[in-house]
Amino acid sequence: MSEFQDAKAVVRAYQAAVDAASPNAVAAVLAVHSAADYLWRGMHPFDIRNGAQEVADAFWSPLKTALTSLTRREDIFMAGRNQMDDFQSIWVVSMGHLMGLHDAPWLGIPATRKMTFLRYAEFSKVDNGKIIETALFCDIPHLMVQAGVNPFPPQTAAHLIQPGPVTHTGRMDVAQDAAEGEKTLAVINAMINDLGTWQSGLPLVEELARTWNDDMIWWGPAGVGATYTIERYAEQHAGPFRASFTNRTGTGHLCRLAEGEFGGFFGWPNFTATATGGFMGLPATGKAGEFRVVDIYRRGGDKLSENWVFIDLLHWLKGQGLDVLGRLNALR
């Protein structure tokens, strides 16, 4: 467990330095805390970047220029060994909101000069005191909605600023009981087995009840929304989603871990599926599309209770022939 605490300390130092850095200084700060061959994955339009300078130029410097007085409001902080490489590597996960004043355009999203929240989930692979790999998912459409340029038709669930865990226990700066993390990972794996096949043979609500508590909360991304209780989740997301796609591939992740009552994963992509129509009010395209997804979970007792979800919808939509950011910039 001391290895987890050491890795967390590396990420805490990185966070403090990046959060305090000016737009012009963030590249130098990243270079101190990351490896020379640093690999960074971000949502569309950032995708894969290499090295501190490229990551700063593409993401952090423009973001810090647009969202002034940027601060981190963290809800979950955990570390664990990655199941996907037979528990060899250690990753640290941070999730919450980056809050700032939207004082300049970013990605063509117009400035509001008002407080704004950018949902984020960041996975950091730590080795030898450095961050060697990052996956940073942020809900760009959520920021667009706040700026008054919602790119999506009405969604099936609720659009909200998303709070952290109802238990307020997600920031795990201290070491956790290893047995609790193993229990969380086991129920996540059981849920993935059900979700990844869509062929359990059970009615959807009964399938979900195998691994979810009845009062579950599913905090979905902008464009899909949040929903509460198994029945409403089935009605407002899981059911419509399954009805909108065929030819779903198996689930693939680059990282999957748990600590205490929390766990999560990300994929690149998690799976592909062919759009047959209906998802987010969109017509069928007949095209297979990639779903890059982050899921963060809280376990309550023996089952899952909360789920924070990030989907790179801009990447998926571009693969379906709709360039949301390109259209936004063309209209301005």
Decide if pLDDT at 99 tops 80: yes
The type of residue at 3 is: E
∠ CA(169), CA(99), CA(95), 5° rounding? Answer: 35
- Of all residues in the chain, the percent with pLDDT exceeding 70 is 98
pLDDT band at 136 (very low <50, low <70, confident <90, very high): very high
Domain ranges of the chain: 2-146, 178-331
- Which residue in 203, 232, 204 sits closest to 218, CA to CA? 232
Distance of CA 198 to the CA centre of its chain: 22
Record the tokens describing residue 293, joined without a space.
């997804």
Residue 196 pLDDT: 57
For residues 253 and 291, is the Cβ–Cβ distance under 8 A?
A: no
Contacting residues for 222 by C-beta, under 8 A, at least 6 apart:
139, 141, 142, 144, 145, 150, 152, 155, 159
Q: Which class is 178-331 in CATH? A: alpha beta
Give the number of residues written for the chain.
Answer: 332
Over residues 35-50, mean pLDDT: 98
Which CATH fold would you assign to the domain 2-146?
Nuclear Transport Factor 2; Chain: A, (3.10.450)
Over residues 24-32, mean pLDDT: 98
> pLDDT for 217-254, tens place per residue?
999 999 999 999 999 999 999 999 999 999 988 889 99
Decide if pLDDT at 137 tops 60: yes
Decide if pLDDT at 140 tops 90: yes
Residue 156 pLDDT: 72
Residue 195 pLDDT: 76
> pLDDT for 167-222, tens place per residue?
999 999 999 999 999 999 999 999 998 875 555 568 899 999 999 999 999 999 99
2-146 and 178-331 in the same fold: yes
- Taking residue 48's Cβ as centre, other Cβ atoms within 10 Å add up to 10
Over residues 271-275, mean pLDDT: 94
Residue 151 pLDDT: 87
Euclidean distance between CA atoms 19 and 1, whole angstroms: 27
Buried b (16+ CB within 10 A) or exposed e, 165-203: beeeebbbeeebeeeebebbbebbeebbebbeeeeeeee
